Structure 1
């Protein structure tokens, strides 16, 4: 299964008039991806509660929407993101508790309506994750999180990501086309198209093919990571300034890249092998994200869903002057 790059849709939530817009946008997205009226209604309900919750406890914030490709059909992901002082998560999940003078049934109802619910809150703000799938879709949730945003909401994004799944194997690509805008996107998309043809080819061979495909474009930075759960191992190759690291609860290690420009010139490419990676997080990110972050500054965050982690890294470390992509993958012994 190959899943191609797409931007995170961001809806500002700053006053009550935007709640209805969030509800309609989320419901329409669900219907476009094959949700029937009952399941699309669940999406609408959850979107309403998430947007309302932002206004109740934060005053303002954002809703992030994206579709989740599946082997058949798709799911819908919605995150509520704010920068307000944190709240008592367990208390807010209890029916009858309210910080906003309402009946206080929102978050408890949300957790019951969704297939995936997770939340992280501290003094810097909160991120609430929901994922909904059609009732007939019984496949397990993939513990992968992606946050991708273009500079100034430009329809063109010079970053791309691509994920491929084959049984116990995962192959992940991130490309940052030089600059931003349409020409950067053209360069990155050329590389993604090449990768998608053979995502499980050896990383160095895949890199060489992408290099040829990106010639004549601006070129860009690239990273490819291939995880094999059956071997408990990861291969990684990078050219340029795509950041990548492996994170365990008690330690983290950066993944080595070489200097150069894919589609332009680089001196060499070498794939590095990393063993005993099951249970760790793989995080890959373009240079639109600051590199000086540490998940240990967020107690317990390493154990949250990868989509929550991706959203928090984007919220707190986006440079604001380039496209930004964050991909977080839980490397699991069995990744269905």
Structure 2
């Protein structure tokens, strides 16, 4: 099931909570003591920065597969989100050895970047989003990476529950890279069972088309509450995106200078599967970017307009979309997940590996 830690960090007393949570997450995925210490150092530094420089924020800790890898064990993803004032000089801040605060551990963002398996951040006066991933064997995973689309996401449970009823995952088979997002009916552990069953089936059926994957998921989810599921698949040989969805998963595709909707078909995977599942197809090339999200995100969220954001790691894009779509006036009423599939990594970005 999708175990998630969502920790508000408004003062220094919560920094310890972040460290304890990331140590628990490391234990869940089987990181050794050294990599666990690395994850704890990175998470503590990011949480400390929230208190010292951003008037607080939140840290979300997810368990994620190595994005785009062929076969790698899951790792720990630490996402720090705040609402300003931003980092004036990002280049200086990520320089190794540059300490962001006299009260910090002296590690600084540059050290976090160096010791993480993957690190990226996006900062404007509106706020900063930083994402770090720590895996057990980053060098081995890097060797197994292939060129092509990359994926990333964020998953936040309702009311800071231990488990989210949403789940997203990415699987590769030959020239096909498939991104899936599932929203189990309701929330909590029973919803998480449904979305987790969808993830398991995706990895068994990644060689199939999106429609066929969904059809195989239907019997696999019959013993659960069922879920809304969307599947997007890029074939790097043909340069084509194929999309199919059942239920209310949102999908937006950025191509050229515009955003367009991809519509799912009504139904519930595992309960009320439609007789036909329409497949939408679109060209996929340099600069293409796909966003999938559950209905925890407001339906009328506004896609990002800053072209620089779209060049960042997909997990940073996903977390920024989640941050900017929410507000105190529109409280979250469900688990919320955002997953992003992006074309080949852009030059100059520090990609998680």
- Shorter-chain TM range is 0.7 to 0.9
Query: 1:126–1:231: structure 2 CA closer, same or farther, 3 Å change rule?
Result: same
Q: Displacement, 1:216?
A: 6.8
Aligned pairs (5 A) from 1:177-216: 177-215=184-222
Q: For residues 98 and 195 of structure 1, what CA distance do their matches in structure 2 show?
A: 42
3-state SS of paired residue (2:233): strand
Cα pair distance change 1:229/1:17, threshold 3 Å: same
Task: Report the counterpart of residue 275 of structure 1 in structure 2.
Answer: 283
Question: Cα RMSD over matched residues?
Answer: 3.2
TM-aligned CA deviation for residue 114 of structure 1: 2.6
Show the counterpart of 2:134. Answer: 132
Name the SS for the 2:141 alignment partner. Answer: coil
CA distance in 2, matches of 1:41, 1:156: 24
Which residue does the alignment assign to 1:87? 87
Return the alpha-carbon distance in structure 2 between the equivalents of residues 183 and 113 of structure 1.
36
The separation in 1 between residues aligned to 2:181 and 2:93, in whole angstroms, is 37
Deviation track 1:211-252 (CA, whole Å, cap 9, x = no partner) reads 344457544422111111122112111122211122246222
Aligned residues between the structures:
332
1:302 corresponds to 2:310? yes
- Post-superposition shift, 1:145? 1.3
Q: Match for residue 119 of structure 2?
A: 117
Unpaired segments ≥5 residues, structure 1 = none
> Structure 2-normalised TM-score?
0.80
Q: Residues 59, 182 of structure 1: CA spacing in aligned structure 2 closer, same or farther, 3 A cutoff?
A: same
Seen in structure 2, the aligned counterparts of structure 1 residues 79 and 220 have a Cα distance that, compared at 3 Å, is: closer
Deviation of 1:190 after TM superposition, in Å, equals 4.6
Which residue of 63, 69, 77 corresponds with 1:67? 63
Stretch deviating more after TM superposition (232-241 or 114-123): 114-123
Q: 1:44, CA displacement in angstroms? A: 2.5
SS of equivalent residue, structure 2 residue 52: helix
Q: Equivalent residues in 2 for 1:230-249 (5 A)? A: 230-248=237-255
Give the CA deviation at 1:117: 2.2
The equivalent residue for 2:292 is 284
